[in-house]
Amino acid sequence: MSTSSYFLPGTIDEAVSLAKAHPNDHVFYAGGTDIQLHVKQRLIKPNTIIDLTAIESLKSVSIQKKNMKLGTMVTLDQIVKNPDIQKFYPILAEAAKSIATPVIRKSATLGGNLKVSNRCSFYNQSFDWRQSVGSCLKDTGDICQVTGGLNHCYSRNVSDLVPALIALNARIMVQTSTGINEMPLIDLYVPDGLIVHTPLGVGGIITEIFTSDEPSKWWFKKLRLRKSLDFTSLTVAATVNKKDVLRVCVNGVSMAPVLVETGINDVTLEGLILQVKRACKTVDNDYMPLKYRREMISAFITDCWNTFH
Amino acid sequence: MGRVIGKPTPLIDAVQKVTGKAMYTDDFKFPNMVYVGLHRSPHAHAKIMSIDTSVAAAHPGIKAVITGKDIPIAFGVLPISPDETAMAVDKVRYVGEIVAAVAGETPEAARAGADLIRVSYKPIKNFITPDESLVECSEDEKIHQHTKNSKNIHKIADLSFNDPKDGIASSSFTRSVDFKFAGVTHAFTEPHSTIAVWNGDESLLVITATQVPHYLHRTLSKVLDIPLHKIQVKKPALGGGFGGKSDPFPHEMIASKLAILTNRPVKCTLTREEVFLTNHGRHPTEMTMSVGCDVAGKITALDTDIVIDGGAYGSFGVVTSYYNGVLLQGPYKIDRFGFITRRVYTNKPQSGAMRGHGAVNPRYAVEVVLDMLAHDVGMDPCDFRQQNFLSENTKTVGELRITSNGIRECLETVRRKSGWDDRYGKLPNGHGLGVACGFFISGSALPIIWNRYPQTVVHAKLDFDGRIVMFSGASDIGQGSDTMLVQIAAEELGISMSRVQVEVADTKLTPVDLGSYSSRVTFMVGNAAKQAVDKIRHQIAASVGNEKSVPREAIQFADERVFTDDGKLNLTWDEAVDIAMAGRGAFVESGFYISPKLGGKFKGSGAGLSPAYSFGAFIAEVKVDPMTGQVSVIKVWSAHDCGKALNPLSVEGQIEGSIHMGLGQVVSEDMRYHNGRLLNANFWDYRIPMTLDTPEMDVTIIESNDGEGPYGAKEAGEGPIHPVLPAIGNAIYDAVGIRMTELPITPDKVLTELRKGGQQ
Ligand SMILES: Cc1cc2nc3c(=O)[nH]c(=O)nc-3n(C[C@H](O)[C@H](O)[C@H](O)COP(=O)(O)OP(=O)(O)OC[C@H]3O[C@@H](n4cnc5c(N)ncnc54)[C@H](O)[C@@H]3O)c2cc1C
Ligand code: SF4
C-alpha cells in the first residue's frame, strides 16, 4: 500500500485528533479486509492510515442477559464464537458466520462491517477494466454503467451484520472531536450509492454498538452461489420482540439496508413484501440475475413470515 | 505385484511444496534482473493506427520497449494454425490482448512504463457470440483474414458413419436436445511466469511455468529466429496446469526478446487478472445432441451438431473440434454415428485445451440424453447403459481401437456402493441420484508435429555412487510424473526410491518428451522409463553374471540386493554397481515409446486415436432447494478404470480433483463477459467451489490391466472429469424432475425450469 503516513494510536481520543489533523485524506484501518481490496484495485488511495488495532477500549464485549454492548474492533470470529451472543443474540452469530471465510473473519471487525463499501459488478473491477469501459459515476466517469443514467448510483450495501443488527434495533456510539453522539444504526445509511454513509462529524469514529432488544423470534438468510466467501446477493434478517414488533431488514439489493418495522398483526404478507420491494432500488449490478434476486426477496420474506406465524 | 508399483506413495516433491521450499519460476532471482510490464488492449476488435512509446521509453527505470512489429512471426501450438503473434501487430482481437511491452528496473517501474504507452485505435465490428461469428461479414471485418469463408469460422470438423441421421429418424425412440455451456478456465494456483536469460554465447535460457517445454523450444526458435541448439527451456516446480500451460505463450516470447535486447535477465509474472485474460480454457459450446434407441433400449444412432467458441486465436482448437465429436464413440457401442463441429473465432480471450479436452461438454449432453431415453424406454438408467457398453478388445465405428475396458465393473461398483437399486427414483422430492459414464484417451497416438521420432525418450544413468538418475523431458505439473519415474526405476532394480533421482523437463539435459497433455505421460513415459531401467538391469546382470560365473537370467534384484535364489550370489546393490562400473564407469541407457500404428484410412481418422482408453462410471447424490433453486451436491461415488494404479494415492487425488473441477463447471463457474470484457477475472467472482460446497467423495479404482500400458497402466488425470457433470445433471432430474441443459446450473435457471413444471 503506498501511503505517506501511518499512525497507530493507543486511545480513541488520539485517533480522533489524528483524524481531525488529516481531515480529507485519512482512513481508519480496522481489519483492513475491505480497504485492502479497494487499494489493490486502485479504487481508493489513502494518504493517511490510522490503524485502530492498538486501541484496547474498542475491543470490549459485554453481554448481560438482555443488554449487549460490543466495541467496534471486536472481530467477526469473536462474534461467531461468543457463547453469550450465541445464546441471547443467535441472529448476530449466524450473520457473522455467513461472512467471508473463517480466516478472513479473524481479521474482519464489526466496525469495518458497519462501514463496508457498497459494491457493484461494474465498479469493483481492476483499474484497466474500468478504464476500458469508460469508468462510472462512483469512480471517475460521468455515467452509470448499469442504467446509463447521469445522476444516480445504485451500488449495493452488502453488509450481513447490518441487517441483523438493525433487526435487533441496535444503536451506535460515535465519538468526534466535539463529543460523543448516539444514534440508531439505521441512520448511518444513506440510500445513495455515491454517499452511502451519513458523515460522522470531524474525526468521527464509531466506538460501540449496543442493543437491549432481546428478540423472542428471529430469522436470517443470505442468498449466494457458494456456501462461503461470496458477498450477499440478498440478506434478510428479521425479529419479533416481546411486544410483537416485527422488524424486517433487507440488504444487498439496494443502496442502503431497507427496514420495515410494524406490529406483527398490523400487516399482511403481501403488504410486507410490497413495502420492502417499494423501498428497494434493485438494478442489474450483481452476478445473480436481477429478476431472480427480486423473486428471492418475496421468497425469503414469505419463508420468514411462515416461520413466524 | 510390485514392491513400489501399486503402493500408495506420497509424491517425491510433496514435502518441498507444502513447506514452501520448492522453487517455482517466480522464486528464481538473477543478478541485474529486469521486469516486464505489459500494455493491453481496451478494445475487443480494433485496428491499431499508431503506437507512441516515446514517453514510456523516457520513463525512469525503463530499459526497453517493444511492440508487435518487433516479434512479427506467427505461431500456434498446432502447426496447422499459426494465427497468433507475441503482441498484436496490425489489430487487436480481444480486450486484454498484449499490444506492447516494457522492461523496467523494478516491477513498479515496468507497470508505470506500460501504462505510459499510447495507442490509437480504430474500432472494428465486434463478434462476441458464436451467433455473430456465424453470420456473413465483410472481408475487412473478419477477425482473421485467413479463414476460407466469409464468416468467422475457423474450422469445420465432421465425420459420419452409416447415415446416422437416417438411423435416428428410423429409431423407435429418439431425443434431440439443445445444450449450452459457458466457458470455464483452468484456475491453476501458480500464475504464468517466465524468466529469460540471454547468455554470453548467444544462447537463450528460458525458465518457465509450462506443460510443454518441447513445443516452446520449437516455437521460440521459430519466432525469435534462434537455432534450436541455442535454446534451453526449463520447467521448475509448477503449480498446476490442467491444459492452461500447454501452449507456447506470448509472455514467454516477450521476456525472451527483452532479454536479448537488454542483455539482462528478464522476469515476467502475470497477475491473476492477466492469467484470466490469457485463458485457453474450455470452449463455450452450443450443441444439439440427437440419439436414437430401439424398444429394448439399444442405442441405434447418434448425431450431433456443435458450435464451439474459440475466442480470438486457434490454440488447440482444431483438435478440440474433433474431440467434441470423436470422443462420443465410447463407452457405448454406436454403429451409426456422426457429428459436425464448427469452431468460430470471436473477439474474446482464446479457448484451448482444458482437462478432459473437447469431450466434457458433449459428454454432459449425451449422458443426459441417454438418461432421457432410458426413461422413455422404461428402463433403469444403469441397466440401459450396461447393455450398451463396448466390449474389450474391439473397435469403435470410427476405428478407435479399444483394448482393456473396465466399464462394466465401474458401473457395477458405483451402483452397489451408492445403494442405487434401493434409492433411485424413490428418494423424497428435492433429493436425487444420477448416473453417468465416460471414457478418455491415454495419450494421443499421433504427435502434433508430424515426424518419425518417438513420442518420448527416457535416459537412465547409473554411476559409481549407486544412484540412478532418470532423465526425462516429461513435465510434472503436479500430477506426479517425477514420482512415477522414480517408482519405476526402484521397482525394476529392487532398490529404494531414495536411490533414484530425476532430472526433468530441461531441453538441454533431457531427451524430448512431447509434454503433459492428452493424459499421455504415465502411458508413454512410463513405458519408455521401464525400458531404460530394464536395460540397466540387464547390464548389471551381465557384468555380475560374468564376474561371478552365474547365469545372468538367474540374477534377481530386490531389497537393495542382487542375488540368485540358490544363495550362490548375494551382493549388496553397491557391490553389484561396483562390478558394473569396472572398465567403463558410469553408463546411460535409453528407452523410448512410439505408439503403434492405429486408425482407419479416412480423412479425420487420426483424431481420438490412442493406444488405450480409460473408462469410468460415477453416481452423484444431490439436494435441490425448491425455494431458491439451489443445488447441493452431497456425495459422489466414482469408479475409474485406470488400467493399473501405479500410485493409488495419486490416482485417488486425480479423481477427487476431477470431481471438484467438474462440480465447478456444472454448478458455479462461468467466464462472464460484458461487451467482450471479462467481468470476473479474479478468484472471488470466478466461483470455484469452496470446501463447504464440495461433496463427500467415494473413490474406487478399477484395474483392467492394459496389455500395452506400463504394468498395465492407462490414464487417470482427465477421464474422471467427464462423468461428474452429467451425473449431477441427471441427479437433479431424479430430485425435482427437470432436465438442465444449460451450464452452469445456477439457482435462477433451476427455478425457471421448476416453474415450467419439469419435463419428462
Ligand atoms: C473474501 C472476502 C469476503 C467478504 N465477504 C463478506 C461478506 O460476505 N459480508 C460482508 O458483510 N462483508 C464481507 N467482506 C468484507 C469485509 O471483510 C467485512 O465487511 C469486514 O467486516 C470489514 O471489516 P474490517 O475490519 O476488515 O474493515 P476495514 O477494511 O478495516 O474497514 C472498512 C471500512 O470501515 C471503516 N471503519 C472501520 N472501523 C471503523 C470505525 N470504528 N469507525 C469508523 N469507520 C470505521 C474503515 O475506515 C473502512 O472505510 C468480505 C471481504 C473479503 C476480503
Ligand atoms: S451503480 Fe452505476 S454508478 Fe454506481 S457503481 Fe455501479 S455502475 Fe457505477
Q: Of B553, B569, B593, which residue sits at a domain end?
A: B593
Cβ B40 vs Cβ A126: under 8 Å = no
CA distance A238 to A249: 6
| B150 located within any domain | no
Amino acid at B308: I
Residues B63 and B205 in one domain: yes
pLDDT (mean) for B156-172: 98
Contact B677 A129 (CB under 8 A): yes
Q: Do B679 and A133 touch (CB under 8 A)?
A: no
Band of residue B760 on the pLDDT scale cut at 50, 70, 90? very low
So what's the pLDDT on residue A243? Answer: 94
Is the same domain home to B419 and B522?
no
CATH of the domain at B225: 3.90.1170.50
Tell me the per-residue pLDDT of B600-633, one tens digit each, with 9 for 90 and over: 999 999 999 999 999 999 999 999 999 999 999 9
- On whether both B752 and B721 belong to a single domain, the answer is yes
Ligand 2 pocket, residue A71 CB under 6 Å = no
Please name the helix (run of DSSP H) or strand (run of DSSP E) that holds residue A250, with its range, or none.
strand A245-251
Ligand nearest to the CA of A142: 2
- Ligand 2 centre distance from Cα of residue B559 (Å): 70
For residue B1, what pLDDT band results from cuts at 50, 70 and 90? very low
- Residues of chain A neighbouring B667 (CB-CB closer than 8 A): 225
Q: Is A41 in CB contact (< 8 Å) with chain B?
A: no
Q: Same domain for B506 and B545?
A: yes
Q: Which amino acid is at B277?
A: L
Atom of ligand 1 nearest to the CA of A27: 47
Per-residue pLDDT of B335-378, as tens digits, reads 999 999 999 999 999 999 999 999 999 999 999 999 999 999 99
Q: pLDDT of B175-198, one tens digit each?
A: 999 999 999 999 999 999 999 999
* Touching A: B residues 620-639, CB under 8 Å: 627-628
Please give the class, per CATH, of domain A56-114+156-308: alpha beta
- The yes-or-no verdict on residue B493 having pLDDT over 90 is yes
Cβ of residue A146 lying under 6 Å from some atom of ligand 2: yes
Ligand 1: which residue has its CA nearest to atom 5?
Answer: A100
Are B360 and B505 in the same domain? no
What does the pLDDT average to over B537-551? Answer: 98
Q: For residue B14, what pLDDT band results from cuts at 50, 70 and 90? A: very high
In this structure, is residue B557 part of a structural domain? yes
In a domain, B132, yes or no: no
Same domain, B391 and B475: no
| ipTM of the complex in this document | 0.96
> Cα angle vertex A62, ends A168, A68, to 5°?
15
Instruction: Please give the Cα distance from B580 to B541 (Å, whole number).
Output: 8
Residue B625 lies in a domain: yes
Distances (CA, A) of B483 to B23, B459, B531, B536, B612: 17, 16, 17, 19, 22
Residue B180 placed within a domain: no
Nearest ligand 1 atom to alpha carbon A36: 29
Quick one: B488 and B395 in the same domain?
Answer: no
Q: For B309-419, where are the alpha helices, taking DSSP H only? A: 317-326, 360-377, 381-386, 407-417
Average pLDDT taken over every residue of chain B: 97
Proportion of chain B above pLDDT 90, given as a percent: 98
Which residue do the cell numbers 457433470 mark? B725
Q: For B226-283, what is each residue's pLDDT tens digit?
A: 999 999 999 999 999 999 999 999 999 999 999 999 999 999 999 999 999 999 999 9
Answer whether the bond into residue B744 is a cis peptide, omega within 30°: yes
The rounded percent of chain A whose pLDDT value lies above 90 is 96
| Residue B139 counted as domain residue | no
Q: Which residue has the cell 498484436?
A: B88
Q: What is the dihedral of CA A98, A104, A105, A109, to 10 degrees?
A: -110
Mean pLDDT of A211-231: 95
Residue B2, pLDDT > 80, answer no
Interchain contact, B680 vs A287, CB within 8 Å: yes
Going by alpha carbons, the residue nearest to atom 3 of ligand 1 is: A100
Q: Which residues of B643-656 are buried (b: 16+ CB within 10 A; e: fewer)?
A: bbbbbbebbbbbbb
Q: Specify whether B436 is located in the same domain as B454.
A: no
Mutate to test the pocket of ligand 2, among A41, A122, A140 (most ligand atoms within 8 A of CB): A122
pTM of the model: 0.97
Closest ligand to A174 CA? 1
Judge: A131–B42 Cβ closer than 8 Å, yes or no.
yes
Contact A249, A95 (CB under 8 A): no
Give pLDDT, residue A66.
81
Verify whether the Cβ–Cβ distance B40 to A128 is below 8 Å.
yes
What pLDDT was estimated at residue B129? 97
Q: Is A133 helix (H, G, I), strand (E, B) or coil?
A: helix
Q: Which of A99, A124, A128 to mutate to test the interface with B (most CBs of B within 10 A)?
A: A128
User: Nearest CA to B701 among B618, B751, B644?
Assistant: B644
User: Which of ligand 1's atoms lies nearest the C-alpha of A30?
Assistant: 30
- pLDDT, tens digit, for every residue of A110-132? 999 999 999 999 999 999 999 99
Whether residues A122 and B674 touch (CB distance < 8 A) is answered with yes
Across the interface, whether the CB atoms of B42 and A128 are under 8 A apart is answered yes
Who among A223, A227, A287 is closest to B685 (CB)? A287
Query: B261 and B117: one domain?
Result: yes
Given a cut of 50, whether residue B402 has pLDDT beyond it is yes
User: What's the Cα-to-Cα distance from B131 to each of B152, B309, B322, rounded to whole Å?
Assistant: 10, 10, 20
Residues B584 and B616 in one domain: no
Q: Are residues B383 and B466 in the same domain?
A: no
Q: Do A225 and B677 touch (CB under 8 A)?
A: no
**Structural domain of B728:** 285-446+600-756
Instruction: Note which residues in 74-103 of chain A have CB less than 8 A from chain B.
Output: 101
Establish if B118 touches chain A: CB-CB under 8 angstroms: no
Q: Per-residue confidence at A223, pLDDT binned at 50, 70, 90?
A: very high
Could you read off the pLDDT of A58-103 as tens digits, one per residue? 999 999 878 999 999 999 999 999 999 999 999 999 999 999 999 9
Q: d(Cα B358, Cα B373) in Å, to the nearest integer?
A: 24
Specify if B166 maps to a domain: no
| Cβ distance of A227 and B690 shorter than 8 Å | yes
Q: Is A295 on the interface with B (CB under 8 A)?
A: yes
Pocket test of ligand 1: the residue of A27, A28, A200 to mutate, having most ligand atoms within 8 Å of its CB, is A28
**Partner-chain residue, chosen from B273, B668, B674, that has the shortest CB–CB distance to A226:** B668
Q: Count structural domains, chain B.
A: 3
Domain at B671, CATH number: 3.30.365.10
Cβ(A254) – ligand 2 distance below 6 Å: no
Q: Grade residue B664 by pLDDT with cuts at 50, 70 and 90.
A: very high
* pLDDT band at A213; cut points 50, 70, 90: confident
User: How are beta strands B266-269 and B34-40 bridged, if at all?
Assistant: parallel
Distance from CA of B42 to the nearest CA of A (A): 5
Choosing from B526, B560, B593, the residue where a domain stops is B593
Please name the helix (run of DSSP H) or strand (run of DSSP E) that holds residue B64, with its range, or none: strand B62-67
What is the structure's pLDDT at A195? 97
Q: Tell me the CA distances in angstroms from B708 to A240, B643, B695, one per residue in order.
A: 71, 10, 35
Mean pLDDT of chain A: 96
CB contact under 8 A, A226 and B680: no
Determine the 3-state secondary structure of B374 from DSSP: helix
Asked if B525 and B506 sit in the same domain, the reply is yes
With a Cβ cut-off of 6 Å, ligand 1 is lined by A 27-35, 37, 52, 72, 76, 99-100, 104, 107-109, 111-113, 115-116, 158-160, 205-206, 229, 231-232; B 684
Give the residue, out of A20, A33, A174, with the most ligand 1 atoms within 8 A of its beta carbon, to mutate for a pocket test: A33
Residue A3: what pLDDT?
Answer: 58
Q: What is the pLDDT of residue B52?
A: 98
Q: What pLDDT, on the 0 to 100 scale, is given for residue B750?
A: 98
Residue B671 counted as domain residue: yes
Question: Quick one: which atom of ligand 2 is closest to the CA of A139?
Answer: 8
